[in-house]
Structure 1
């Protein structure tokens, strides 16, 4: 029986990761497969094949992969594209001896407490924190870490369940809220949700993410993304702009590369979130062993005319693309900003107003009758708008959030909610 190979992408069919397929096609001539629990009923028909398997469950994946191996189809590599598939892809790659990340990397990249220990052991500045399960452990941790403090699930993402507490009472309420978010969404993303992290708060709104292509022995920064967060006490990401005003900063780049090395990430794109304190000190908040989400990669592609998923998939396949990254130069600025209606019941959605010339794409997910809540995490948005400018900003601009707010105010007619 002839041996046929394919590349299996996990998480490529996720919202705002659709262009991963194009990047994979640029990286390889092999067929590109994806996975879905029910491939027969999936609406995604763009991949060469849809494997019927849970992309977040390595046992499910291995069963389906081995069934197709009997028909002559074998994966060359399994490539994770989001947080929820890093562990499953790593387990499958190890089981089939395909390569991939080291055994400890997936743990360090998904368990935020293990991540913090690895960063500190490597001398990378990161906020101190403690792992808790009970309310009493929470209060003890708050005493040790100090207030204000950030409370968050240790293995979730998308700002889900992340809350700022300035008092002990707020800390208790924050833990309850974090547990509520995990109870609501945890099973969908295979989140354990049994522990929570109490973390030192870096009092700053100056936050970036650094997109790094990792290699064995050396890594290369692709770009820096300016991040815009929702009002406290939550940390929902409301906009991302590429290239950020700190792009090209060698100190920032060096810190991001050291953070990736501390976790042992030696292939693929990594997403390093960094905050700057009032005194200018840079703190690594989190490191993800996958491309940035929320449409950041699409903004990179617009700004640099380079599909970053090509880099990610190619790196997993063993291609040395670090020089391609080093030579990438932005020619414009691109941003994605999330639409947020005022809190209340949405009575009408007006989607035929003239749009500013900077708008390249807009998507409205809210409908009449929907309840708009405060911006707590990814689940409380009403859509997004993608924007583009022909200039490169030398200082942080607030245009993405200003323009998104103006559009949202014009689009969404919101009424009060009856008690």
Structure 2
């Protein structure tokens, strides 16, 4: 029986699958927000914040007294660093802290990618939000200011001038960023024509699979509106170029086993790597990969973390597949489409609605704010667009 530690926040799929396996002795470190992911008989230790490495280390030390875990699984963006730290601290094989930091700390990530000769936007580390003015004098206005750690397009601001910076420096909108316990970075503002994502699988130090998809609209332009993506044919020259960037990024950051999610911007001067993580894409992207290619990123993530060598054999569908993130406005939901209504639409192959009438949303909008997702399939890119338009017209949500 394998002894396993799961360090987790929002990775509900991995939590469920690991609890369903009878060949594991499983212990979990998570925060109380995710209590509902676990059964009463699961060994769960709660910490205030999974991103607090000291809290996680002390919890792991206590767990080892009853479960001398030999493997660590980290399925969510916010648990990558802590899991890497635990592996390095206890000498456990897998993604150690240095690699986990490179895949989650955007400043370190861009340093490594730039040193490897890969294209990234120019960037600077900030000591405080006000330091963006000095960075802009070097990079040029506007600049993008964001936390070095985090996900879901949260706390990212385009700052257009010194006057705009002064306005934002006291704004409630930037309070979370300005008081964040993480470093901040400034990047040059780039004009994004198209945004892609590439989702890969790495086994025994080799990239065994990588799939490219194109977002309907660049993510930061789409927050709160139409968010989703569709697969790019394997033989498309753009897909080949992005897969090459993906493989080079994996090598530069040192991943030898696991899954990846890479964001790539197409600009007037060529492709730029936005960022890359070593966990499945969120919001239904992992489901898109599994649906279109017959390979489940969650399966590969878990098996590689457990020291197993999963078979990676793609069975790519004809045509294009798309994932559509169902928009979720702020407020209390008083009306919402049903899964049955959406499944009846052209091209729809799967619907998953996670929100319910009566639920309240008050948090900031970001790319992962949604009620669920829909998977579509169509012979051509044009027909995907037609199906997406039909879905947009049919989807009902009303909040107060």
Provide the TM-score with structure 2 as the length reference. 0.81
May I ask how many residue pairs the two structures share in their alignment?
389
**Aligned match of 1:388 in 376, 380, 383?**
376
Residue matched to 1:354 = 341
Contact 2:283–2:373 (CA under 8 A) maintained in structure 1: no
Q: Distance in 2 between matches of 1:339 and 1:149?
A: 28
* Deviates further, 263-272 or 141-150: 141-150
Contact 1:6–1:31 (CA under 8 A) maintained in structure 2: yes
**Aligned match of 1:70 in 65, 68, 87?**
65
**Aligned match of 1:411 in 366, 380, 397?**
397
Residue matched to 2:43 = 50
Q: Tell which has more relative contact order, 1 or 2 (C-alpha 8 A, sep 6+).
A: 1
Q: Distance in 2 between matches of 1:369 and 1:58?
A: 33
Shift of the 173–304 alpha-carbon distance from structure 1 to 2, 3 Å rule, reads farther
Contact 2:201–2:297 (CA under 8 A) maintained in structure 1: no
**Aligned match of 1:317 in 306, 309, 334?**
306
SS in 1 for 2:12: coil
Q: Distance in 1 between matches of 2:211 and 2:40?
A: 28
Provide the TM-score with structure 1 as the length reference. 0.78
Contact 1:210–1:221 (CA under 8 A) maintained in structure 2: no
1:201 aligns with 2:189: yes
Shift of the 181–336 alpha-carbon distance from structure 1 to 2, 3 Å rule, reads farther
Q: How far 1:246 moved relative to its partner?
A: 6.3
Residue matched to 1:417 = none
Matches within 5 A, 1:223-234: 223-229=211-217
Q: Distance in 2 between matches of 1:265 and 1:124?
A: 16
Q: Distance in 2 between matches of 1:347 and 1:236?
A: 15
Residue matched to 1:256 = 246
Residue matched to 1:296 = 285
Q: Distance in 2 between matches of 1:275 and 1:28?
A: 43
Q: How far 1:225 moved relative to its partner?
A: 3.0
SS in 1 for 2:93: coil
- Which segments of 5 or more consecutive residues in structure 2 lack a partner in the other structure? none
Note the aligned Cα RMSD (angstroms).
3.7
Shift of the 240–31 alpha-carbon distance from structure 1 to 2, 3 Å rule, reads farther
SS in 2 for 1:74: coil
Q: How far 1:224 moved relative to its partner?
A: 1.8
Matches within 5 A, 1:123-134: 123-134=117-128
SS in 2 for 1:19: helix
Shift of the 336–160 alpha-carbon distance from structure 1 to 2, 3 Å rule, reads same
Q: Please list the CA deviations of residues 64-122 of structure 1 after superposition, one character each: whole Å capped at 9, or x if unmatched.
A: 44444434x22121111122111111111122211222442222222211211111100
**Aligned match of 2:268 in 265, 269, 278?**
278
Contact 1:336–1:400 (CA under 8 A) maintained in structure 2: no
Residue matched to 2:176 = 181
Q: How far 1:123 moved relative to its partner?
A: 0.2
Residue matched to 1:377 = 366
Residue matched to 1:7 = 4
**Aligned match of 2:154 in 153, 160, 166?**
160
SS in 1 for 2:341: coil
* Deviates further, 237-246 or 306-315: 237-246
Q: Distance in 1 between matches of 2:126 and 2:56?
A: 32
**Aligned match of 2:143 in 149, 159, 167?**
149
Q: Distance in 2 between matches of 1:116 and 1:232?
A: 19
- Which segments of 5 or more consecutive residues in structure 1 lack a partner in the other structure? 415-419
Q: How far 1:256 moved relative to its partner?
A: 0.7
Q: How far 1:29 moved relative to its partner?
A: 3.6
